[in-house]
Amino acid sequence: MSRDKALAPLWWLTSRSWMQPIMRPLRRLVGTERARRWKQSLRPRLHPSIHWHIDAVHRIDDVGAFVVGWLVDPCGEVARLELSCDGRTIDVTTRWARCRRPDVVASIADAPKTDVDVGFLCFLPDFLVSGVCSLRIVDRRGAVATQQVAAREATSAIEWSKEILSQVAAGRPDVADVIGRHVGPPLQALARRRAAPRPPLVREFGPRPARPRTSLLIPLYGRADFVRYQTALFASDPELRDVEILYVVDDPRLVETACDLARNAWRFHGVPLTVVVNERNLGFSGANNAGAAIARGATLVLLNSDVFPGRPGWLGRLLAPLADPRVGLVGAKLLYEDGTVQHDGMQLHAHEAWGGMPILLHPGKGLPDPGGGPAVADADAVTGACMAIRAADYRALGGLDEGYLLGDFEDSDLCLRVKRAGRSIRIVRDVELFHLERQSQWLMPDMEWRQKITIYNCWRHSLALQEAGR
């Protein structure tokens, strides 16, 4: 018989509340400290097959706590794992989501060398933590082990997501549930607390139109060289002479390059440009909203820096449907450089690899442009790479939702809100524009993290769809 099995009844007996009237005189007789040591020696030890560690306990503002760690328990000996802080205790094992931790499996000699989910993460809403928290693991024989962890204040949504989303496997069928129960709510809370940025720096190169009919909002992130080609094409289009062109620099590394390119565009092509400089990266939504806040045009055109007009006259045709007050938003057909279709409207499709969450598909993408058909057609949604909207409507709707991180789904979200406001969406197909697509995003060093941000945005968009009854 093992030591633990032999001593377990004695430990159990001396721990009962009804035994304490007898135990108190004994403690006084032998001395409190000696009695404590003897009692400790009777405590059952945690089963040797159990390995565990808490990596971090995060405080998520005033909305809850987030725990991440790992537990190797090949024999199923663990009864529960409890988090205690400020007099409150909660059982993590009834709420957690398990995840793979190949780093843990590789480092523990007797761990099963399989893809078993030994990691875990858990969001505990309304469980506030501060200072030092206590994590207690209890096995089925009553053995207990504890770990003290200092609670950490979660940082910004972007920085926190880099740490936490590494635990989420993108291709698992339960990814929607993990995002929805554990990762999405804290990320939303962190995104909401984002401090309001200071007013952007505005630098004008050439005379800025005082009362333009239209303002082009063009965010810059990752690379600025497309400004040279875009402005050369703008210069050859008479329609753009009275248009306000705003380049919104959303990357502090590009400020000087963008200003040099804008200065040259005015000097060599006679195209006046306004460069709007954000103090920090605000993402696609934040960049467009910053530009819209200072834009002077009655109509706004959101345009990517890697979208190029094939011939003059595109802007007038894009804006024409807005003459109808029933139309709230207009997009354009976009082509790849080889003439195949990049965008001809967007449609929702349940993506099984992401737990059935709806993603946005581009019908006909990559196929030869069939041509023909109506020049202007109704659309469910259009891409933010090129969309036109009245400035008053954009501001009344709150602009693009900055709760979407970096950039994905915020264009469809705006389309949903336009439709809920009783307006229709049109797509203009006889506008020849070329889109190189996602040129700045491919520059990101961690594409796996970028994909998981997209999954989070997809989940957030699914909430908007539910609210809209879609």
The reported pLDDT for the residue numbered 410 is 96
Output helix, strand, coil percentages for the chain, rounded to the nearest 5.
35, 30, 35
Evaluate whether 167 touches 121 at the Cβ level (below 8 Å).
Answer: yes
Q: Classify the phi-psi angles of 101: left when phi > 0, otherwise alpha if psi is within -120 to 50, otherwise beta.
A: beta
In order of start, what are the domains of the chain with their CATH numbers?
A: 3-42 (no CATH), 51-154 (2.60.40.10), 201-467 (3.90.550.10)
Task: For residue 67, give both structure tokens.
Answer: 């725990």
Residue 96 has φ and ψ, to the nearest 5°, of: -70, 165
Average pLDDT per block of 10 residues along the chain, 470 residues long: 54 64 75 68 72 94 94 90 95 94 78 73 95 92 89 90 88 88 94 78 95 97 93 95 96 94 95 93 93 97 96 96 98 94 94 90 92 90 97 97 91 97 96 79 66 93 88
The reported pLDDT for the residue numbered 44 is 63
The residue among 438, 406, 423, 405 whose CA lies nearest residue 414 is: 423
The reported pLDDT for the residue numbered 150 is 96
List beta partners, residue 65: 59, 124
Exposed e or buried b per residue across 394-413, where buried means at least 16 C-beta atoms within 10 angstroms of its C-beta: beebebbbbbbbbbbbbbbb
The residue among 435, 257, 248, 458 whose CA lies nearest residue 349 is: 458
Q: Are strands 152-153 and 97-99 parallel, antiparallel or unpaired?
A: unpaired
Helices and strands (H, E) in the chain, number of each type: 14, 22
The reported pLDDT for the residue numbered 209 is 93
* One-letter amino acid for residue 160 of the chain: W
Task: Please give the helix or strand (H or E) that residue 463 lies within, else none.
Answer: helix 447-467
3-state SS assignment for residue 147: strand
The reported pLDDT for the residue numbered 1 is 46
The reported pLDDT for the residue numbered 34 is 72
The reported pLDDT for the residue numbered 11 is 52
Q: Count of residues for the chain?
A: 470
In angstroms, what CA-CA distances link 117 with 47, 336, 387, 421, 449?
A: 19, 42, 44, 46, 20
In angstroms, what CA-CA distances link 388 with 140, 305, 380?
A: 63, 15, 15
